[in-house]
Amino acid sequence: MGISEALIEGQAQGVLVAAERPNGLGVIVLTGSSGRVDVARARLFAELGAAAFAQRWWGGEGQAAGVNEIPIETVLRGVDLLLAEGCERIAILGTSFGAGAALLAAVYDPRVDVCIAISPTAVVWQNSGPSADGSAWPPRSQFTWEGRPLPFVVLDPRPWPPAGTPNPSYRRMHEQSLRTFAEDVPAATIPVERARADLILVAGGADALWPSDTAAREIAGRLARNGRQAVLIEHPHAGHCPVFPGEAWRAAPPERAWGGGEAADRALGALAWDAIVEVLGLGRAASL
């Protein structure tokens, strides 16, 4: 299937990858702390007939230079764009920090039909990097809604890996932070039960960046207690970055560990892709 690509600038920023024969589905693709615009992943959806928007939701023109008080409305401008393109159903796929943004977008906007959270978090965390005013301190929320910072969990610096540690793991630091600031966790918990969207949760048991496997189960359990069911896809040996069929595997950068390994990351990605294709009604993943 032929596809076209267009650079989008202004309030919504990124690359729109459109199918030659659109099927009515629009997919927003959000990355995490890398800040990449993942056009390659958007193409996977466009090749199956979707209009896919690889969105820049931080680090762009007029945006904060870090994940620091990012308005959820920024992501929802992507929803506006896809609806204006004629899409009849909207899915948001987010990875890591982007999974948090995707879940929150689904909570606050009933126009989102499906939310795909890869290596998710169950809570809003302290900022990573500077806000729009250029300041990264004191700690602030990663996200805002209607101009108000969302409640968040502060990072406990005591388990922070020593300076110079090669490929440091930050999982223990996140786990300790949830214990240290346990009184803040209820308010910072993402209220997924308020989302109208169907949820697909993807996590590896060997995630070294943060406990996404634990978070995914917590989210699924929260939905179950409210009479709903999420699609939960796990692999015990996969890390933070599952790889979909047709994607290149990337090693973790020196400044952090992702955990897992290529074989397990690809195995989890294949399982996740099959589930995503089924839920979105895109046909068999083998068609790639």
The DSSP 8-state label assigned to residue 171 in this structure reads: H
**Rounded mean pLDDT, 27-40:** 92
Closest CA to 198 of 120, 280, 261, 135: 280
> 127: helix, coil or strand?
coil
pLDDT of residue 1: 59
Radius of gyration of the chain (CA): 18
What tokens were used for 262?
Answer: 């290529």
- Burial profile 103-114: b = 16 or more Cβ within 10 angstroms, e = fewer: bbbbbbbebbbb
C-alpha count within 13 angstroms, C-beta hemisphere, residue 19: 22
On the question of pLDDT at 19 being above 50, the answer is yes
* DSSP states of 35-104: ----HHHHHHHHTTT-EEEEEE-SSSTTS-SSBSSEEHHHHHHHHHHHHHTT-SEEEEEEETHHHHHHHH
Neighbouring residues of 4: CB distance < 8 A, sequence distance ≥ 6 = 17, 18, 20
Query: DSSP letter at 21?
Result: S
Give the fold, CATH level 3, of 3-287.
Rossmann fold (3.40.50)
Sequence-distant (6+) residues with CB within 8 A of 13 are 55, 56, 60, 61, 63
Sheet of 148-149: strands edge to edge? 70-71, 143-145, 148-149
Chain segment 96-139, per-residue pLDDT in tens: 999 999 999 999 999 999 999 999 999 999 998 888 877 878 89
pTM (two decimals): 0.94
**Percent of the residues in the chain that have a pLDDT greater than 70, as a whole number:** 98
Burial class of residue 134 in the structure, from the number of CB atoms within 10 Å of its CB (0-12 exposed, 13-18 middle, 19+ buried): exposed
Helix (H) or strand (E) holding 175: helix 171-180
pLDDT in tens, 208-246: 999 999 999 999 999 999 999 999 999 999 999 999 999
Does residue 68 surpass a pLDDT of 50? yes
pLDDT in tens, 127-152: 988 888 778 788 999 999 999 999 99
For the four alpha carbons of 193, 54, 69 and 203, in that order, the dihedral sign comes to positive
The residue extents of the domains of the chain are: 3-287
Single-letter amino acid, residue 62: G
Walk across the sheet containing 3-8 and list its strands: 3-8, 13-19, 51-56, 25-30, 89-95, 114-118, 198-204, 231-235
